[in-house]
Structure 1
Amino acid sequence: MDAIVGFLNTIFWGYILIYGLLAVGVYFTVSLGFIQFRHFGEMIRTVMKSPETDEAGISPFQALTVSLASRVGTGNLAGVAVALSLGGPGAIFWMWMVALVGMATAYAESSLAQLYKTRGAHGHYRGGPAFYISKGMNMPWLGAVFSVCLIISFGLVFNAVQANSIATAVEGAFGIPPLVVGLALAALTGVVIFGGIKKIAQVAEIVVPFMAAAYLLLAIVIIVINITAVPGALWQIVGSAFGLTEAVGGVTGGVMAALLNGVKRGLFSNEAGMGSAPNIAAVAVPVPHHPSSQGFVQALGVFIDTLLICTATALMIILSGALDPTAGVQGTDLTQAALAEHIGTAGRYFIAIAIFFFAFTSIIGNYSYSENAMVFLGMGNTQGFTALRVLVLIMVVWGAMQAVATVFNTADASMGMMATINLIAIVTMSGTIAKLTKDYLSQRAEGKEPMFHAADYPELGDGIDHTIWSRD
């Protein structure tokens, strides 16, 4: 199994995604006119608009918080620490680059997910890459492959990763055995996911803003206290990305180690291009009533995840002086050691609590994506959802007791396959994305509230659900 996982990671991360993710991000950044920079205000506007009442879907803000629930997890705490340990401070620079160009990728994939969404059981909105691959590319078989990869990676493997981080942090801070943590976490997870996507959205819109605000507030306090050292920390990040400063962490590999680990951990954290967040973007009721509006919402999610929360973690670790490649401390342990340097023993407890909230919300967010995949595969019924939920709970308990390296490597392989399929799909349909964007922005420039009119897109035919987009 280790050999197979290692081979897949070599193919995906050594040849395909390390270049493909950046290339696709740059492609959409340029082809869409640097949309994530020129129209950043639109991202805020689409989230802050009052949601429309629609029992079929969730609000844009709920969609953002559910996607952030999935994005903001171990990648923001343990993942950043791993990137720093293996790639040095320069890895953070490449995480920034992946996020900045990834905002355009996130916009593209989530706009498509909105466009091709449909109605599942009980009239609820469903959608995501599997749906736009099937309808937009006329390749339902590839949509099925994507769905299987999504269930394996997000429904199962990634949730084991999150459980592993929670168990490690809680055991380190409070001495509670991993099995006990896993069982308790599974019980709490079951209470939420058995309520379906609506319940998940209700929990996420309360917990996610609270946990993100608390974490960023602590980071701001630490940065202010160490303000004189901040310029030096930022120079370490930028300088070591190009080999201009002495290596700290990532001693072997230099610039390439920084690039590889930054890109890998950047994607694992913000998920841009992976094809995950579009699954919840499709469930939202867009405001304005145009597919592009949800693209803007999810682009903002990438910004919050990496440019704010991951950067906060990185600065706290670098400013602490705890980053020592010879000490062998990495992952959650490094983040806890860094906070202990800043605020004493309380730092370990704070990170354990933060890891719990970040990773727990990731588990329920990841599960929500899997529901859409089950619907696409024709298993979106009570029996199918129950079986999936039971498997998720089993993986939570299993993951709590596994070694970090094994779980992370498996997650990398499954994520790599998903991302490869999704990147091919969105590039293939880039013409549709460009037309949607031009339509939205031209209406906004004319002072109108953007509205999608299916009649303006005759080439889509019956690929879209006209009953959803029939508003005048």
Structure 2
Amino acid sequence: MEFLKSFFGIIGDLTWGWSLVPFLVILGLFFTIVTGFVQFRFFGRMFRVLLNKNQTADKSAISGREALLLSVGGRVGGGNIAGVAVAITLGGPGAVFWMWAIALVGMATSLVECSLAQLYKRKEGETYRGGPARTIIHGLGEDYRWLASLYAVCLIASFALGFNAFQGNTVAGAAQDSLGVDRIWTGALLAIGTGFIVFGGIRRIAKAADVIVPIMAVGYLAMALLVILMNITHIPAVIMTIVANAFGLEEAVGGGMGAALAQGLRRGLFSNEAGLGSAPNVAATAKVSHPISQGITQSLSVFIDTIVICSCTAFVILLGDVYVPGAAEIDGVVLTQQSLVSHLGEWSQYFLTIAILLFAVSSIIYNYYLGENALTFMSGSKVAVFVLRVVVIGIVFIGAVAPGATSVFFFSDPLMGVLAVVNLLALLMLFPTLIRILKDYQQQLKAGAEHPVFDPKKFSDLDIDLKAWKPKQ
């Protein structure tokens, strides 16, 4: 076991050390500049999908809105509640500024990876499958199958297994600490709910996300907005503190600007997942008129995750009196919880527990689907999918009732680093293809098209599934 821990520790150092984070930042800046700051030019179009529930008459297909909410449900989780608190504790208020910066850059990366996943998606029965593994095979060719298979294995191990165990542990711990509910009851409830949703397939998964995500997001935002309104006169001072600390003009913790930069970038990337290749698995399930339209939509999920929800947590903490710069480190969830209590009273800790429950459920659904999608790439066996569903339900339960068991999944973070490396290499090699479809989308907009339509006949040299993208008549 110690050998395995050391081995995966080395992988983690080689990926999530000081090599991968700059790579993600530099590549995000490259995508932003070369695409002409596409995330800002199309910012207004991102919100249209929220007002349009069904973008297609095909009732068996996943709409762009449902795919967006499913990806938001996956991105939004413990990182938005505990991760932001950890970033502020270790990096000071300035870490928040760098979280904002990496989110704005990550919006371009998300657009690139999700658009390519849409382009190379395959129609299987009544649903669509896609993501980095399929993008690699159909975009780069069979010679790269080993790379696609590596991605799929790492995705199953890290998200479907490891992260779901941690989600079960987080929820059970919060319910036990604030509500006094025994872990076994929380574990049983989570396992039953997970089973009901995952055995319903992608349609039920999407429908569940369509209900859970708006409730959890609106509820949490409403509470944060209440705190902000109660302290509205202090907002300018907090923003000035964030900016000053970000550039080293004020030093809240040891390390100054360096600590703020490091913590902000790392926690921001962990939270919004831009560049890791996870969200494209969900983005590919939607039936839309053009690959770029889903890429634009998925950029919005990065904005919601970091610019909106992470900012709410940051303001709740920085507007309170619980956080003391440079003081002893407080557990992330506890700092957020105590900050809410200081603003609104004891009842708010119970509300936060419910929010954590909803965040975790949405993440479990998302993590499971990523695993299923990767498994179907490697094997079309229905038995294999059934076994994965049972295993995930069991892991969620074990993670909830036996918190020590989550230590077995120490490989999750290092493997997520491998996912990022593989995905970024594929994005670099396929970036010229992305530019081609982006130009096609922009040309149609200039010609007056309200909703550009993708015609695969214009891209006959690409390995596109004509069942997924029917040519214009």
What TM-score comes out, normalization by structure 1 length? 0.94
SS of equivalent to 2:19: helix
Matched to 1:296, the amino acid is I
SS of equivalent to 2:276: coil
SS of equivalent to 1:283: coil
Residue 260 of structure 2: which of 258, 261, 285 is its match?
Answer: 258
State yes or no: 1:316 paired with 2:316. yes
Matched to 1:236, the amino acid is T
State yes or no: 1:107 paired with 2:111. yes
* Alignment partner, residue 454 of structure 1: 456
Range that drifts further, 168-177 or 303-312: 168-177
CA shift in 2, pair 1:442/1:253, >3 Å: same
* Alignment partner, residue 39 of structure 1: 42
Matched to 2:35, the amino acid is L
Contact 1:55 1:124 in 2 (8 A): no
Distance 2:241 2:214 in 1: 30
Q: After TM superposition, give the deviation of residue 409 of structure 1 in Å.
A: 6.0
CA shift in 2, pair 1:252/1:161, >3 Å: farther
* Alignment partner, residue 301 of structure 2: 301
> What is the RMSD of the two structures over their aligned residues, measured on CA atoms?
1.9
CA shift in 2, pair 1:88/1:406, >3 Å: farther
Distance 1:293 1:5 in 2: 38
SS of equivalent to 2:241: helix
* Alignment partner, residue 353 of structure 2: 352
Residue 200 of structure 2: which of 195, 204, 223 is its match?
Answer: 195
CA shift in 2, pair 1:223/1:87, >3 Å: same
CA shift in 2, pair 1:362/1:394, >3 Å: same
| Ranges in structure 2 where 5+ consecutive residues have no aligned partner | none
What TM-score comes out, normalization by structure 2 length? 0.93
State yes or no: 1:219 paired with 2:206. no
Contact 2:198 2:365 in 1 (8 A): yes
Contact 2:94 2:245 in 1 (8 A): yes
CA shift in 2, pair 1:403/1:243, >3 Å: farther
* Alignment partner, residue 65 of structure 2: 61
Matched to 2:422, the amino acid is I
Q: After TM superposition, give the deviation of residue 47 of structure 1 in Å.
A: 4.4
CA shift in 2, pair 1:41/1:469, >3 Å: same
Range that drifts further, 289-298 or 174-183: 174-183
Q: After TM superposition, give the deviation of residue 44 of structure 1 in Å.
A: 1.7
Matched to 2:438, the amino acid is T
State yes or no: 1:272 paired with 2:266. no
Distance 1:8 1:236 in 2: 36
Contact 1:173 1:348 in 2 (8 A): yes
Q: 1:273-328 CA deviation, whole Å, 9 max, x = no partner?
A: 11011111111011xx1111110110011101110001001110111122235343
Q: After TM superposition, give the deviation of residue 244 of structure 1 in Å.
A: 1.5
Distance 1:392 1:405 in 2: 13
Distance 2:424 2:309 in 1: 25
Distance 2:60 2:431 in 1: 28
* Alignment partner, residue 152 of structure 1: 157
Contact 1:92 1:237 in 2 (8 A): yes
Distance 1:404 1:341 in 2: 33
SS of equivalent to 1:218: helix
Residue 72 of structure 1: which of 73, 76, 97 is its match?
Answer: 76
Contact 1:99 1:303 in 2 (8 A): yes
* Alignment partner, residue 421 of structure 1: 422
Matched to 1:279, the amino acid is N
| Ranges in structure 1 where 5+ consecutive residues have no aligned partner | none
Q: After TM superposition, give the deviation of residue 454 of structure 1 in Å.
A: 1.4
How high is the sequence identity, in percent, across the aligned residues?
46
Q: After TM superposition, give the deviation of residue 348 of structure 1 in Å.
A: 1.0
